[in-house]
Amino acid sequence: MIRIYNTLSKKKEDFIPLEEGKVRMYVCGPTVYNFIHIGNARPMIVFDTVRRYMEHKGYEVNFVSNFTDVDDKIIKKANEEGVSADEISKRYIAECKKDMEGMNIMPATTHPLATQEIDGMIDMISALIEKGYAYAVNGTVYFRTRRFESYGKLSHKNLDDLQGGNRSLLVSGEDEKEDPLDFVLWKPKKEGEPYWVSPWGDGRPGWHIECSVMSRKYLGEQIDIHGGGEDLVFPHHENEIAQSEACSGKEFSRYWMHNAFLNIDNRKMSKSLGNFFTVREISEKYDLQILRFFMLNAHYRSPLNFSAELMESSKNALERIQTAVDNLKYIAEHAVTTEMTSEETGFIKETQSFEVDFDRAMDDDFNTADAIAAVFDLVKYANTQAGEGSSRAFAQALCDRIQSLCDILGIITEKKEEFLDADIEGLIEERQAARKAKNFARADEIRNLLLEKGIILEDTREGVKWKRA
């Protein structure tokens, strides 16, 4: 049984889907006005892994994650470049998809775009006005927050406290509102901004209504899991609940999952501190598989600290898994015997305990850190049990077992093929010839020369291997 920490109840609960064997899951996607940053990458990786594990458990997952393609930041960027907001959003959706592919994130069942769902938003706002939950003033439509009695149930905030002490949390435009806590569903157009025709005048939707509508259209009025970063709990997810439940009269989402923040060198990521990194910048230094591995090395609800040292450590750890897989493939390829011995069959049975540990960790609120520890236990076991005398079937079975667990985490075990400059390739060949001719002084000289160029050589039974320092 999978147990999920539900932000709504503040405790772990058994996962029981609305419909047996099926999971309806909505995750708030990025606002596409620039390259995604590593803070955006965390929920993408976390909820992709949740989805993969659900599928591993036999669930059919309908996974919806939107792109917010109309927003003040997009409009600002478009005005700076002198192009349309549509051009900006299309450009950065394409770039975001490239980065997602690099992190091995599966495409969602549906990636809706806010701008293509405006009619649904107008319909929902009209329904909220009709039910008395919303009102229009001079082309702006507001949601009557106090009318929704359970407002604050997700963020565990009290409405009176919000009004008393946290003016910064309130949405602007107080003078038009019936209550300072009311939030915007529709806003009138401004000069030079994209707009749509509505019963309340030309304008565009508020951010919160977009997700309520896209979730309802592609998943229905009730969903199993709603996910996102913890920064979205209030006001975004709180407002989604208010809109959706006021409209349908039903519980919107059964389970609310939120990943914790990502810090950079123990400080909050911000452009002003100069510690702001995009996924694209990280990809220039590291394979994005390393970023994924790094993110999964911590529980999703724990704050995560990003640093060069931790990335290097993740790189080395991932290489241990990849090297083990490489070695098992080599043993399988060069094995003298094909079938497993009875002793080897016993060893394979023993590996089931690592799978049990893996599933136990993932069943406990998707504890990827402990799941990775189970993978390393399996790698260590494979390294000690498989060798030159092993059968092909045994080496292959160990290899398959490691790969299947890594697949659930979305971790690719094949090493990315790297190519060396022709002159470095030439030096490696020259060193091989020197060793053959027993000219070890020259061989050592070349090894040191390569080391200066950042290339480390390893002489293995499979021949010479290299890696970057």
Query: Tens of pLDDT along 38-97?
Result: 999 999 999 999 999 999 999 999 999 999 999 999 999 999 999 999 999 999 999 999
Is the domain of 367 the same as that of 224?
A: no
Position 295 in a domain: no
pLDDT at 161: 82
Tally of domains in the chain: 3
Residue 191 CA to residue 102 CA, distance in Å, equals 39
Going from the C-alpha of 71 to that of each of 61, 155, 170, 173, the distances in angstroms are 29, 24, 18, 18
Closest CA to 358 of 316, 395, 409: 409
Is the domain of 230 the same as that of 377?
A: no
Residue 192 CA to residue 170 CA, distance in Å, equals 26
Average model confidence (pLDDT) across the chain: 93
Is the domain of 118 the same as that of 240?
A: yes
| Domain termination residue (choose one: 196, 229, 259) | 259
Burial class (CB in 10 A: 0-12, 13-18, 19+), 20: exposed
pLDDT at 418: 62
Residue 6 CA to residue 130 CA, distance in Å, equals 32
Query: Tens of pLDDT along 12-28?
Result: 999 999 999 999 999 99
Position 234 in a domain: yes
Band (pLDDT 50/70/90 cuts) for residue 436 is confident
Residue 145 CA to residue 239 CA, distance in Å, equals 8
Q: What percent of the chain has pLDDT over 90?
A: 81
Query: Tens of pLDDT along 343-378?
Result: 999 999 999 999 999 999 999 999 999 999 999 999
Is the domain of 237 the same as that of 364?
A: no
Band (pLDDT 50/70/90 cuts) for residue 167 is very low
pLDDT at 169: 46
Is the domain of 394 the same as that of 452?
A: no
Residue 53 CA to residue 69 CA, distance in Å, equals 29
Asked if pLDDT for residue 171 goes beyond 70, the answer is no
Is the domain of 402 the same as that of 456?
A: no
CB atoms within 10 A of CB 393: 18
Backbone angles phi, psi at 6, to 5 degrees: -100, 115
Query: Tens of pLDDT along 266-307?
Result: 888 877 787 889 999 999 999 999 999 999 999 999 999 999
With vertex at residue 62, the alpha carbon angle to CA 298 and CA 17, rounded to the nearest 5 degrees, is 80
Instruction: For residue 188, give every residue at least 6 positions away whose Cβ sits within 8 Å of its Cβ, in sequence order, or none.
Output: 138, 139, 140, 200, 201, 202, 203
Two structure tokens written together for 367:
């504890």
Asked if pLDDT for residue 461 goes beyond 80, the answer is no
Query: For the whole model, what pTM was predicted?
Result: 0.89
Q: What percent of the chain has pLDDT over 70?
A: 96
Band (pLDDT 50/70/90 cuts) for residue 168 is very low
Two structure tokens written together for 270:
């911000």
Please check whether residue 206 is in contact with residue 196, taking contact to mean a CB–CB distance below 8 angstroms: no
Is the domain of 10 the same as that of 111?
A: yes
Asked if pLDDT for residue 469 goes beyond 80, the answer is no
Is the domain of 428 the same as that of 365?
A: no
CATH code at 44?
A: 3.40.50.620
Q: Domain range holding 443? A: 422-468
